[in-house]
Amino acid sequence: MIFFAGLAKEHSVAAPGFNRWLVPPAALAVHLCIGMAYGFSVFWKPLGRALEGSDGVALDLCAAGATTIEGKMASLWRALFATDCNWSQFDLGWIYTLFFVLLGCSAALWGGWLERVGPRRAGVVAASCWCGGLLLAALGVAEHQLWLVWLGAGGVGGVGLGLGYISPVSTLVKWFPDRRGMATGLAIMGFGGGAMIGSPLATLLMEKFASPGQPGVWQTFVVLALIYAVFMFGGALGYRIPASDWPGARLHVPAEPRGGSFIAVRHVHVRNAHRTPQFWLLWIMLCLNVSAGIGIIGAAAPMLQETFGGALIGQSSLDYAGIKANPTALAGAVAVAAGFVGLLSLFNIGGRIFWASVSDHWGRRRAFCVFFALGAGLYLLSGFTAREQLLGPFVLSLCLLASLYGGVFATIPAYLADLFGTQFVGAIHGRLLTAWSVAGLVGPAMVNYLHDTRLESHLAFQQIYAPIFYALAGLLVMALLANLAVRPVADRLFMSEKELAQMQKLAPQRRPHFGFEAAPEAKPPNTSPVAVLVLAWLAVGVPLAFGIWVTLQKTSAMFQ
The per-residue pLDDT for range 52-106, each reduced to its tens digit, is 766 667 777 786 666 566 666 777 788 888 888 888 877 888 888 888 889 989 9
pLDDT the model gives residue 259: 41
Rounded-to-integer distance, Cα 455 and Cα 464, Å: 7
Question: Which residues contact residue 326 at a Cβ distance below 8 angstroms, ignoring those fewer than 6 apart?
Answer: 318
The H or E element containing residue 391 is helix 391-420
Rounded-to-integer distance, Cα 331 and Cα 338, Å: 11
Alpha carbon 32 to its chain centroid, in Å, reads: 10
pLDDT the model gives residue 224: 97
| Cα angle 301-307-310, degrees, rounded to a multiple of 5 | 90
pLDDT the model gives residue 329: 81
Question: Which residues contact residue 502 at a Cβ distance below 8 angstroms, ignoring those fewer than 6 apart?
Answer: none
Rounded-to-integer distance, Cα 553 and Cα 248, Å: 43
Q: Count the Cβ atoms, other than its own, within 10 Å of residue 257.
A: 17
Contact indicator for 193, 543 with CB cutoff of 8 Å: no
Query: At residue 456, what is the residue type?
Result: E
Contact indicator for 303, 323 with CB cutoff of 8 Å: no
pLDDT the model gives residue 252: 59
pLDDT the model gives residue 208: 93
Measuring CA to CA, how many Å separate 374 from each of 370, 411, 473, 477, 482?
A: 6, 16, 10, 10, 15
Q: 3-state SS string over 233-273?
A: HHHHHCCCECCCCCCHHHHCCCCCCCCCCCCCCCCECHHHH
Q: Which candidate, 56, 75, 55, places its Cα nearest to that of 65?
A: 75
Backbone angles phi, psi at 241, to 5 degrees: -115, 145
- CATH 1.20.1250.20 residue window(s) in the chain: 17-52+74-242+531-555, 279-486
Question: Which residues contact residue 496 at a Cβ distance below 8 angstroms, ignoring those fewer than 6 apart?
Answer: none
Question: Which residues contact residue 3 at a Cβ distance below 8 angstroms, ignoring those fewer than 6 apart?
Answer: none
The Cα diameter of the chain in Å comes to 78
Q: DSSP label at 275?
A: T
Q: Which candidate, 125, 120, 63, places its Cα nearest to that of 90?
A: 63
- Which CATH number among 1.25.10.10, 1.10.287.110, 1.20.1250.20, 1.10.3470.10 corresponds to the domain 279-486? 1.20.1250.20
pLDDT in tens, the chain (560 residues): 455 567 888 888 888 888 999 999 999 999 999 999 988 888 988 888 888 766 667 777 786 666 566 666 777 788 888 888 888 877 888 888 888 889 989 999 999 899 889 999 999 999 999 999 999 999 999 999 999 999 999 999 999 999 999 998 888 988 998 888 998 898 888 888 888 899 899 989 999 998 877 889 999 999 999 999 999 999 999 999 988 778 776 655 555 554 445 678 789 998 899 999 999 999 999 999 999 988 777 778 788 888 888 788 888 777 777 887 888 887 888 788 878 888 888 999 999 999 999 999 999 999 999 999 999 999 999 999 988 889 899 999 999 999 999 999 999 999 999 999 988 998 999 999 999 889 878 888 788 788 778 777 777 777 788 889 999 999 999 999 999 999 999 989 998 887 777 766 655 555 544 433 444 444 455 556 888 999 999 999 999 999 999 888 888 877 76
**Domain 17-52+74-242+531-555 CATH class label:** mainly alpha
Rounded-to-integer distance, Cα 214 and Cα 198, Å: 21
Length reported for the chain: 560
Q: Tell me: the pLDDT tens digits for 369-424?
A: 999 999 999 999 999 998 888 989 999 999 999 999 999 999 999 999 999 998 89
Please, how many CA atoms are within 13 Å of residue 451, restricted to the half-sphere of its CB? 20
